[in-house]
């Protein structure tokens, strides 16, 4: 080892003795750059090939616990939108010796490849772009390096460009130019985009500022970031000019006819010296009943020193607070980025208003009372579900949520059509209808899928099944919605003498039976034909003009009889046959035929007829398809279909087939199939229940393993969609298991899922259910009103989205990330089953 010069040794000793910690970024064992308070990720999360730019990938900066920068990559647009092309990442190399990460980015459409090298450089990183070959002519002037900043963290704050001062706008600001479509680089996947309205033009935002040095939020140490470049101009754009989900984009164009290192940026995210994240004190914002377990999970920065105790304070009628309970914390340990401790206050049972005190941190209040869960499903059933009824005019007091959508119906999707929502029409129509011919009778019933306005057939099948299960097991008689199918009119908070859930079953079945009868099988989806309509925000009735397209008319011309127009805005039916989907529909039709008997006997009989037909036809078709090609619903749908047909018809053949398939399915995937098995208990003899018992014992062991897996004791999802749906299914399964096997599955287990949904989870402690009786529900969701930064009451968020390698997040000031904020019709109706089962057991 070389001897250090005296001066260098002196400086090292001085640094070691300094009270200020070293804030230089270093490459850690997880493959990202880190200092206390700042993480810089370089392609730990890759761009998605399905929806392309989901604002979850590339170079990302997590600054003081919040991912406020993302999307760092070579892109082909100033302000990329969701369906813009994204680069493939064929290789990523982490070099701990040079403290750098090198990633290859490739656009195969243009045979264009670049290398991005991110290296630690003092308190920041150096980002360099390398080209081994000059830019292809097709991307000259379009290819550039982008980095995107979360608007909600910067609006209202200032920025400086080469010393010039300005302020980020709360709403989109700036100027744009309009260019012919021919000048736009073709980077969409063949979809009609900017010229949907026949203008032949597209919008190109102009930069807000241009310079060599940019400083964002100098007054805010939590979000201050500096970007400099010595070899290229840096431009600042407002991506919201083109799309409400756009971010602020910092961009430099790559030079033409050059190779080697063609661009270098230095990015310095500020790190507050000695920053320690505030504890996230997880608890149920809805509250607790006196008798239940009450455990707060406290999420701590690993640099934080856990306190020994926490306390419960009770608020009296005069507004005074008094400590009524104190207890030692139980340190659980580390889970990904943070450290966790548990605070058990189960012994606090007196009804009242309380809060938790942990050191200097005080939570908002919560209630202990026997009625806290009584309203947990009301907003979902009273508001969210009826708002999502398609082909209906929906009003609430002074507000119209939407007019009657899609009066013109649905056209047959042409063969070999790719769809932007991951559907597609195969080489034939699989129907008697010609391409772009109107399929009569489909514009009836059904539910919007989620934050968009299409009818996803698979989701709608699940929805009707969910309603039927809730009806048959719990008989909810709640009547707070007026539904008139003849007038196609819905009014919220107005009773009509019929249980709402029966009307929801009827409404969903009407569309699905129409598909089966008219098409001959189930459609994949009834959806938009052009992207401009698909990403529509606003009244669903304004997506189309309500008139069928007439190719004989000029664009936007209306026929003299007022019955057609020259607007290509019609919805399409994607009708390629999927026998697994038909099999699922057969199960649903069997179930709905029972629920509708005595209420709508005609629809009930039609549903049962279609169930038997689709079961026979899909079984024959599936016999020629290998099991591994049938999709994830194949065997479960077959099990469920036979059970539902047995319950409806009591024919022995169906229950024999059910039991033939069930036991191996439980052996293969107990958690996924156990709920179906439990739902069969009331319809079979005691021998069946006893045969199921060993699986319940095994399930109990799985629950115990979850307690060791994570501090919350629930199955936490780590995919590209947060795991709230799995936790709802988990909670429902526990409810049914406890109902039938209380001696094995303890009642205390049922509260874990509810606690997670209502605030006891990572990142923050807000309830994930909109507007339910919680002290602090989430404020914004990804619904069809997301551009208003609002919510639809009763929406259930997917929840905590995992960002590799160790970060959970759920934005509550930016609704546009669907993987953490979008409630779906399937997920929200599964919540109704869970809520019904949960309330039943609680009482």
Q: Where are the domains of the chain?
A: 6-269
Closest CA to 776 of 283, 312, 428: 283
pLDDT band (50, 70, 90) for residue 365: very high
pLDDT band (50, 70, 90) for residue 419: confident
Q: Cα separation of 708 and 456, whole Å?
A: 38
Count CA within 13 A, CB hemisphere, residue 379: 16
Contact 664, 635 (CB under 8 A): no
pLDDT in tens, 196-239: 444 555 788 999 999 999 999 999 999 999 999 999 999 999 99
Contact 691, 681 (CB under 8 A): no
pLDDT band (50, 70, 90) for residue 625: confident
SS3 403: coil
Closest CA to 390 of 404, 408, 410, 380: 404
Looking at residue 260, the DSSP 8-state letter turns out to be E
Report the first-to-last Cα separation within the chain, whole angstroms: 73
Contact 244, 782 (CB under 8 A): no
pLDDT band (50, 70, 90) for residue 628: low
Contact 459, 451 (CB under 8 A): no
Bond prior to 805 in cis (omega within 30° of 0): yes
Q: Note the pLDDT of residue 631.
A: 60
Non-local CB neighbours of 740 within 8 Å, separated by 6+ positions: 678, 681, 689
- pLDDT, average across residues 357-365: 97
Neighbour-count burial of 747, counting CB atoms closer than 10 A to its CB (0-12 exposed, 13-18 middle, 19+ buried): middle
Six-digit token pair at 266? Answer: 């230095």
- pLDDT, average across residues 671-681: 95
Non-local CB neighbours of 68 within 8 Å, separated by 6+ positions: 61, 62, 149, 150, 153, 154, 223
SS3 247: coil
Q: Note the pLDDT of residue 423.
A: 86
CA 669 to chain centre: 24
Non-local CB neighbours of 253 within 8 Å, separated by 6+ positions: 141, 143, 144, 232, 233
Angle, CA of 657, 662 and 668, to the nearest 5°: 140
Closest CA to 764 of 792, 797, 731: 797
Integer-rounded Cα radius of gyration of the chain? 29
- pLDDT, average across residues 795-806: 97
With 70 as the cut, is the pLDDT of residue 136 above it? yes
Q: Note the pLDDT of residue 179.
A: 72
With 80 as the cut, is the pLDDT of residue 16 above it? no
- pLDDT, average across residues 661-672: 94
Q: Cα separation of 343 and 634, whole Å?
A: 44
pLDDT in tens, 172-201: 988 998 876 545 544 444 433 334 444 555
Q: Cα separation of 405 and 421, whole Å?
A: 19
State the DSSP string of 143-189: -EEEEEE-GGGTTT-EEEETTEEEE--SS----EEEEEGGGS---SS
Q: Cα separation of 103 and 89, whole Å?
A: 7
Would residue 377 be called left, alpha or beta, if left means φ above 0 and alpha means ψ between -120 and 50 degrees?
alpha
| Residue predicted with more confidence, 195 or 448 | 448
Per-residue buried b or exposed e for 484-503, using 16+ beta carbons within 10 Å of the residue's own CB: ebeebebbbeeeeeebbbbb
User: What is the CB neighbour count within 10 angstroms for residue 389?
Assistant: 25
Q: Cα separation of 590 and 648, whole Å?
A: 6
Would you identify the CATH topology of the domain 6-269? Beta-galactosidase; Chain A, domain 5 (2.70.98)
Contact 464, 501 (CB under 8 A): no
Return the HEC string of 57-124. Answer: CCEEEEECCEEEEEEEEEECCCCCCCCCCCCEEEEEEEECCCCEEEEEEEEHHHCEEEEEEEEEECCE
pLDDT in tens, 738-750: 999 999 999 999 9
Six-digit token pair at 177? Answer: 């130019």
Return the HEC string of 207-227. Answer: CCEEECEEEECCCCCCCCEEE
pLDDT in tens, 240-274: 999 999 999 999 999 999 999 999 999 999 999 99
Contact 799, 765 (CB under 8 A): no
Q: Note the pLDDT of residue 629.
A: 66
Six-digit token pair at 510? Answer: 């009407």
Contact 84, 188 (CB under 8 A): yes
Q: Cα separation of 564 and 314, whole Å?
A: 66
- pLDDT, average across residues 278-300: 98
CA 230 to chain centre: 40
pLDDT in tens, 768-794: 999 888 899 999 999 999 999 999 999
Which percentage of the chain shows pLDDT scores above 70?
A: 94
Q: Cα separation of 454 and 574, whole Å?
A: 11
User: What is the CB neighbour count within 10 angstroms for residue 3?
Assistant: 7
Q: Note the pLDDT of residue 201.
A: 57
Closest CA to 656 of 644, 646, 670: 646
With 70 as the cut, is the pLDDT of residue 80 above it? yes
Least confident of 110-124, 268-282, 549-563, 753-767: 549-563
**Secondary structure element (H or E) that encloses residue 238, with its range:** strand 234-238
Six-digit token pair at 644? Answer: 């539902």
Q: Note the pLDDT of residue 79.
A: 94
SS3 275: coil
pLDDT in tens, 449-502: 999 999 999 999 999 999 999 999 999 999 999 999 999 999 999 999 999 999
In the block, tokens 């077959």 appear at 638
With 50 as the cut, is the pLDDT of residue 642 above it? yes
Q: Note the pLDDT of residue 82.
A: 87
Q: Cα separation of 322 and 624, whole Å?
A: 71
Q: Taking all residues of the chain, what is their mean pLDDT, rounded to a whole number?
A: 92
Q: Note the pLDDT of residue 635.
A: 65
Q: Cα separation of 469 and 461, whole Å?
A: 12
User: Which residues are designated catalytic?
Assistant: 813, 822
Q: Note the pLDDT of residue 21.
A: 62
Q: Note the pLDDT of residue 637.
A: 77
Return the HEC string of 720-787. Answer: CCCCHHHHHHHHHHHHHHHHHCCCCCCHHHHHHHHHHHCCCCCCCCCECECCCCCCCECCCCCCCCHH
Q: Note the pLDDT of residue 188.
A: 44
- pLDDT, average across residues 761-768: 98
Q: Note the pLDDT of residue 182.
A: 47
């Amino acid at each position: 080892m070389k001897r250090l010069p005296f001066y260098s040794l002196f400086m090292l000793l001085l640094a070691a003795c300094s009270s200020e910690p070293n804030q230089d970024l270093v490459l850690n064992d997880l493959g990202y750059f880190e200092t206390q308070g700042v993480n810089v990720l370089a392609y730990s999360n890759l761009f998605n090939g399905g929806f392309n730019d989901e604002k979850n990938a590339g170079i990302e900066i997590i600054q003081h616990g919040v991912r406020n920068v993302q999307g760092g990559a070579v892109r082909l647009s100033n302000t990329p939108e969701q369906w813009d092309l994204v680069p493939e990442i064929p290789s990523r190399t982490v070099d701990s010796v040079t403290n750098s990460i090198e990633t290859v980015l490739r656009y195969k459409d243009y045979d264009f490849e670049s290398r991005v090298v991110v290296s630690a450089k003092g308190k920041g990183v150096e980002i360099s772009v390398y080209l081994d070959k000059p830019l292809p002519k097709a991307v000259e002037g379009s290819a550039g390096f982008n980095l995107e900043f979360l608007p909600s963290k910067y609006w209202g704050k200032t920025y400086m460009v080469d010393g010039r001062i300005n302020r980020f706008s709360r709403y989109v600001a700036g100027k744009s130019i309009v260019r012919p479509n021919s000048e736009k680089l073709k980077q969409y996947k063949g979809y009609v985009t900017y010229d949907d309205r026949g203008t032949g033009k597209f919008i190109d935002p102009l930069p807000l500022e241009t310079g060599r040095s940019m400083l964002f939020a100098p007054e805010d140490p939590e979000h201050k970031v500096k970007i400099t470049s010595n070899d290229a101009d840096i431009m600042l754009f407002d991506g919201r000019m083109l799309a409400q989900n756009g971010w602020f984009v910092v961009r430099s164009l790559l030079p033409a006819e050059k190779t080697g290192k063609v661009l270098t940026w230095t990015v310095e995210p500020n790190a507050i010296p000695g920053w320690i994240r505030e504890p996230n004190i997880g608890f149920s914002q809805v509250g607790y009943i006196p008798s239940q377990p009450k455990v707060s999970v406290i999420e701590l920065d690993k640099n934080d020193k856990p306190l020994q105790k926490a306390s419960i304070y009770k608020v009296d009628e005069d507004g005074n607070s008094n400590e009524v309970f104190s207890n030692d914390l139980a340190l659980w340990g580390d889970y990904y980025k943070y450290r966790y401790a548990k605070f058990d206050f189960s012994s606090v049972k007196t009804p009242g208003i309380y809060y938790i005190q942990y050191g200097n941190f005080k939570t908002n209040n919560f209630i202990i009372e026997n009625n806290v869960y009584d309203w947990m499903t009301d907003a979902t059933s009273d508001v969210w579900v009826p708002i999502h009824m398609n082909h209906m005019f929906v009003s609430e007091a002074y507000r119209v949520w939407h007019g009657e959508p899609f009066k013109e119906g649905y056209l047959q999707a042409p063969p070999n059509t790719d769809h932007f929502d991951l559907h597609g029409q195969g080489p034939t129509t699989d129907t008697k209808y010609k391409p772009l011919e109107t399929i009569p009778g489909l514009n009836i019933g059904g539910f919007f899928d989620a934050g968009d306005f299409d009818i996803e057939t698979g989701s709608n099948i699940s929805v009707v099944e969910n309603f039927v299960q809730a009806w048959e097991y719990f008989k909810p008689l709640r009547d707070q919605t007026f539904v008139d199918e003849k007038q196609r009119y819905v009014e919220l908070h107005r009773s009509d003498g019929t249980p709402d859930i029966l009307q929801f079953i009827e409404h969903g079945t009407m569309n699905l039976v129409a598909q089966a009868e008219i098409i001959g099988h189930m459609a994949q989806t009834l959806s938009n034909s052009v992207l401009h309509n698909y990403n529509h925000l606003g009244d669903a009735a304004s997506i189309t003009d309500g008139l069928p397209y007439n190719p004989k008319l000029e664009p936007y011309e209306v026929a003299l009889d007022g019955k057609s127009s020259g607007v290509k805005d019609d919805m399409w039916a994607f009708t390629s046959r999927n026998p697994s989907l038909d099999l699922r529909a057969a199960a649903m039709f069997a179930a709905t035929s029972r629920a509708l008997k005595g209420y709508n006997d005609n629809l009930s009989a039609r549903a049962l007829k279609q169930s038997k037909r689709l079961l026979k036809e899909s079984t024959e078709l599936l016999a020629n398809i290998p099991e591994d090609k049938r999709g994830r619903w194949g065997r479960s749908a077959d099990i469920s279909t036979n059970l539902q047909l047995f319950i409806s018809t009591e024919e022995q053949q169906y229950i024999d087939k059910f039991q033939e398939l069930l036991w191996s399915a439980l052996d293969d995937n107990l958690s996924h199939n156990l709920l179906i098995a439990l739902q069969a208990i009331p319809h079979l003899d005691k021998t069946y229940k006893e045969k199921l018992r060993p699986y319940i014992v095994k399930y109990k062991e799985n629950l115990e393993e979850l307690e060791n897996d994570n501090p919350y004791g629930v199955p936490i999802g780590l995919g590209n969609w947060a795991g709230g749906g799995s936790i709802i299914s988990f909670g429902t399964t526990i409810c049914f298991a406890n109902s039938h096997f209380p001696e094995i599955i303890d009642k205390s287990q049922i509260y874990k899922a509810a606690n997670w949904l209502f605030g006891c989870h990572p990142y923050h402690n807000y309830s994930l259910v909109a507007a339910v009786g919680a002290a602090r529900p989430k404020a914004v969701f990804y619904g069809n009103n997301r551009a208003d930064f609002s919510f639809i009451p009763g929406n259930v968020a997917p929840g905590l989205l995992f960002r590799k390698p160790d970060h959970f997040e759920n934005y509550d000031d930016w609704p546009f990330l669907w993987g953490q904020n979008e409630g779906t019709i399937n997920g929200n109706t599964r919540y109704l089953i869970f809520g019904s089962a949960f309330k039943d057991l609680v009482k």
